[in-house]
Amino acid sequence: QVQLVESGGGLVQSGGSLRLSCAASGSSFISNADMGWYRQGPGKQRELVATIISSGRTNYADSVKGRFTISRDNAKRTVSLQMNSLTPEDTAVYYCNLKFHIDFWGQGTQVTVSS
């Protein structure tokens, strides 16, 4: 059973920064699993924000490239998302994702950016 526990969400002013963290646990977790962050804004579909594969290579949505940085620490079994220069368009529930044959999801953490 895989469990993903997220933290770091909250309310921030436009132009500010937040760092989201996701801690993975459970016997299904393997260091070579791909991980990422998704988000779903109000009235919008879920979208991919950033991914990091087992090799450490990253991929970002165009809307966040240059502002967000995803990283992972396999020893600590964590994945983080550093978010800078936040705008109201970044307001969403952010979900941690782990892919190991099937997708596992965290409970989501709310990020609200005020204008």
51-92 pLDDT, tens digit each:
999 889 999 999 999 999 999 998 888 999 999 999 999 999
- Is the model's pLDDT at 28 over the cut of 60? no
The predicted pLDDT at position 110 comes to 98
Mean pLDDT of 24-52: 89
Q: How far is CA 113 from CA 14, 17, 89, 93, 95, in A?
A: 6, 10, 8, 11, 17
Residue 3 forms beta bridges with which residues? Answer: 25
